[in-house]
Structure formats: C-alpha cells, structure tokens
Amino acid sequence: MASPRLHARADTVLGTDLGGWTVSTTTRTATTKTARGVRVAVAAGLALGGLLVAAAPAQALTTDRWWGADRFATAAAVSGKAFAGGAKGAVVVNGGSSADALAAAPLAASLHVPLLTVTGTQLPDVTRAELARLAPERVWVVGGSAVVSDDVVKQVGQLAREGVTRLQGADRYETAAMIAKDHFAGSATEVYVASGEGFADALSAGAAGAAVGAPLLLTAPGSLPGSTAAALGALQPTRITVVGGTSVVSDDVLAQLEEGRPGVVVRRVWGDDRYETAAKVVLERTETASRVLLASGANFPDALAGAALGQPLLLSRPDCLPQVTADAFASLGTESVTGLGGAGVLSDAALTGKVCAAAAPAPAPQPSPSSPPAVSTGSGVYYANCDAVRAAGKAPIRRGDPGYRSGLDSDGDGVGCERR
C-alpha cells in the first residue's frame, strides 16, 4: 500500500508556490499506462527485473527544474521551493563528500527542515543567503571538523537564533548510527541499511526512509560495523530493509542483521543497476505518484537535497532516461516530474523523457582454435568435450539438453561441464 505520509508530503511540498525562483516548465509526450491493471503488471515486471516495453497510450507529462549554478545553489533552490515560507531549522552537510551526508536526508525530513550544503572550509554565499532567508532557530551540521570545519560551523551558528548542533561519529558508520539513535529512538519501526562505500543505493534508501520516518544506517560490504549493530539494538526495529545487491551488501551482512533478532523481517530490495534499484525502492512503497523527483544517478548532491523532502525520487543517467525509470513513471501514473540540478548534470533530453538506447547484445562466444566444435548430427547436437560446450555458450549442460551425454557429466548428477 502507498504510504499516507509520502502522499501527504508530496502534495504539500511539490504543490507549494514556487515563489521567485526561476522554473522552466515544458510539456512532453510520455508512454504511460493509464489502466490500473496495466500499471500493476508494470510494477510486477520491475520487481522481477524484467524489461517493460509494452505499448501504451500517450499522456502529457509536465516537467520543471529546480536548480542553481552549482550543487550549493541547487540545494538552496530546492530549499526555496519546498520551504518558501521559511523553516524552523536546517540540516547542513558537506556537498563534496557523501560519506557523512547520506544519513542526513531522513534526519532533515524528520525535522521538517531543508538540507543545505557547504564545503569543508567555506560557507558559500548562496547557502548563507538561504539560511538568512529561512531564519532558522537551530541548524544541525552533520560530520566532524574534518568534514565541516569549526569556522564554517561558527558562521552557520551566527545565522541560527539558538545556535548549531554538530552530529558526528568516528566514521561514516558511527555518524549514521548516532543520528539514528538520537533522532529516531522510540519512533521508527523500520530501518533502511545501505552500503557506506558508495552513494547511489544509499540515496534511494535515504529518500525512502525520509518518506516513512525511518533512519538510514550504513554497512561495509562484507561485514556489519559494530556501531551499526549497536544502533539496531537501541532502535529495536520490526523490519530492516537492505537496499542494494550482493555485490554491495553481501549475504553475510544479511545473516548478521537476522542473527539474534527473532521476528524481525530482514529483506533486500535491489535491481541490476542504481536506476532499477531506485525504481524498485519507490514501487514497493507506493502504487501511484502523480509527481516525482528526478535526479542524476552519477553524483549525489542534487539528489540528496531532494531526498530530504521525502518524495518519490527516481534516478536518471545525465544524458538520457533509463528505460526502467520511464517504466516506473508509467507504473506510478506520473503526471509531473521535477528535475533536480541544471542541464549539466541532468540534461533536457533526460528530463523530457528521451529514453536511452538499448544496449547492443553481447556477441556470441566464438570457439577457440583448441576447442573442438559442436557437431550437428541426424540425432541432434554432439559436443566432443566440455571445452566445446563452453565455447558454444551452453555450459553447464543438463540432462535433457541437446548434446548432453554421460561422458560430459563426470559425477553423474545430471549436470555436465559445470566446473573448469
């Protein structure tokens, strides 16, 4: 079922008066599936990782863009759109380093404040101006002095009536754990977990967490950090959602998440790449979304500012729209897309729905000179040995497959040529 909170926030934030910010609005023709049954079929296809290419009626889809001259200005623009009337506070992160910033999106959403960016040593003029406009009571700075200097924190504090709170741990895992324990204890029944070694899946996880009031914890690919395990112990969630495939969060980590937590549901949401993962994270949370945010999946700052709003967030390649993202629009019944960032990070082609060309199929494997070829006979296909099976791309070969014979199955288990 769709999250009521997600839909309420979508109507509130994306329906606000856009004020004096420059917005480009266009109308494009998009392939959408308006019938309820077709949308369900699309969602099911994505869940299975399939390619969805069924023809559908055309529907007008409006687009606009929230952006600035750089990542700092874009974050300020997003804040201006979503919090045109000001905000009681703000969350500030280093816009050049994703490590500590990733867990900040659910934090900002839980506080109902915008997320703004600085450098490690400077408070950009555009960020200073947005903080002055917001007139916040308090600002939360995520990361230690090596991430956001004390001088920057001091300057930020001069713009907040009640000062600054710094949230920091010894590393990215501990920082995320501290945020979760300090701001979500007693209120979160679910926790999102993503790899701390990359930003793409954590962006999607953070946006989903922001939508439902769940924190984001980080893990190493092959083992669960002690600080993350301790945070889970303190939070006592009933569901843990891991975002990303086994190459970024191993099955060993899932086993560690399950260990000692009887009754807790541990599940994994993932796709073949960051774009499909983002689509699946959104689709498993909501059935419909008339408005969505779209950001480049090639970098994190613009997407992070949007993730903090708790809206459905999908990712795109900079130059074109991935097919899985276009399919997600169709499944959700999307009518309006807001792009985050300028045309240099999210092109007009991507925003207006130019779908990326399908990848060319991989060439068929060619037999090596030393591999005897397969031989077609009147009774079927014959392979001289396992090298020939592999050269034909048929390994492992199973009982009943054309060309299978006991001589290729050394252990007699019905599966031949399974090992080199």
Q: Is the pLDDT of residue 303 over 80?
A: yes
Tell whether 58 is covered by a domain. Answer: yes
Please tell me whether residues 324 and 353 are part of one structural domain: yes
Same domain as 318, residue 265: no
User: Is 175 contained in some domain?
Assistant: yes
> What pLDDT score was predicted for residue 28?
36
pLDDT of res. 401: 79
Q: 356 and 383 share a domain?
A: no
- Of 291, 378, 248, 297, the residue nearest 82 (C-alpha): 291
Beta strands in 108-252 (DSSP E): 115-118, 138-142, 164-167, 190-195, 216-219, 239-243
- Domain assignment present for residue 25? The answer is yes
**pLDDT at residue number 400:** 74
Q: Which tens digits make up the pLDDT trace of 144-180? A: 999 999 999 999 999 999 999 999 999 999 999 999 9
Structural domain that includes position 46: 21-62+286-293+311-361
Count of CB atoms situated within 10 Å of the CB of 48: 8
pLDDT tens across 75-129, in order? 999 999 999 999 999 999 999 999 899 999 999 999 999 999 999 999 999 999 9
| Whether residues 129 and 14 fall in one domain | yes
Assess if residue 368 is contained within a domain.
no
| pTM exceeds 0.85, yes or no | no
Query: 35-55: per-residue pLDDT in tens?
Result: 333 343 444 444 433 333 333
Q: How remote is the C-alpha of 244 from its chain's centroid?
A: 9
- Asked if the structure places residue 320 within a domain, the reply is yes
- pLDDT at residue 361 in the model: 66
Residue position matching structure tokens 């995320």: 176
Q: How confident is the model at residue 337 (pLDDT cuts 50, 70, 90)?
A: very high
Together in a domain, 71 and 219: yes
Q: Within the chain, how many helices (H) and strands (E) appear?
A: 16, 17
Q: Which of 338, 361, 384 is the last residue of a domain?
A: 361
Give the model confidence (pLDDT) of 376-416 as tens digits. 443 457 777 888 887 787 888 877 778 878 778 766 667 77
Q: Are residues 397 and 348 in the same domain?
A: no
Specify if 369 maps to a domain. Answer: no
120 neighbors 149 (Cβ within 8 angstroms): yes
Residue 370 lies inside a defined structural domain of this protein: no
Report the pLDDT value the prediction gives residue 45, as an integer from 0 to 100: 45
- Residue 227 banded pLDDT, cuts 50, 70, 90: very high
Q: Based on the domain organization, do 231 and 328 belong to the same domain?
A: no
The token pair at 344 is: 């240099």
Q: Is the pLDDT of residue 240 over 70?
A: yes
The whole-number average pLDDT for the span 284-302 is 95
Q: Tell me if 203 sits within 8 A of 307, measured CB to CB.
A: yes
Query: Which tops the pLDDT comparison, 239 or 410?
Result: 239
Say if residue 304 is in the same domain as residue 394.
no
Residue 121 lies in a domain: yes
| Closest listed residue to residue 196, CA positions, set 336, 112, 102 | 102
Give Cα separations from 187 to 26, 207, 212, 239 (angstroms).
Answer: 41, 17, 11, 13
Q: Please tell me which residue, 76 or 8, carries the higher pLDDT value.
A: 76
Only one residue has tokens 């599936």, namely 33
**Structural domain total, the chain:** 3
Quote the pLDDT of residue 2. Answer: 37
Same domain (yes/no): 250, 123: yes
Q: Are residues 335 and 223 in the same domain?
A: no
Q: Check whether residue 16 and residue 73 sit in a common domain.
A: yes
Preceding amide of 396 cis, omega within 30: yes
Same domain, 11 and 57: no
Cβ-based neighbour number of residue 366 at 10 Å: 10
Q: Tokens 């390649």 — which residue?
A: 317
Angle at 198 between CA 192 and CA 201, to 5 degrees: 40
Residue 146, token pair as written in the block: 């090596």
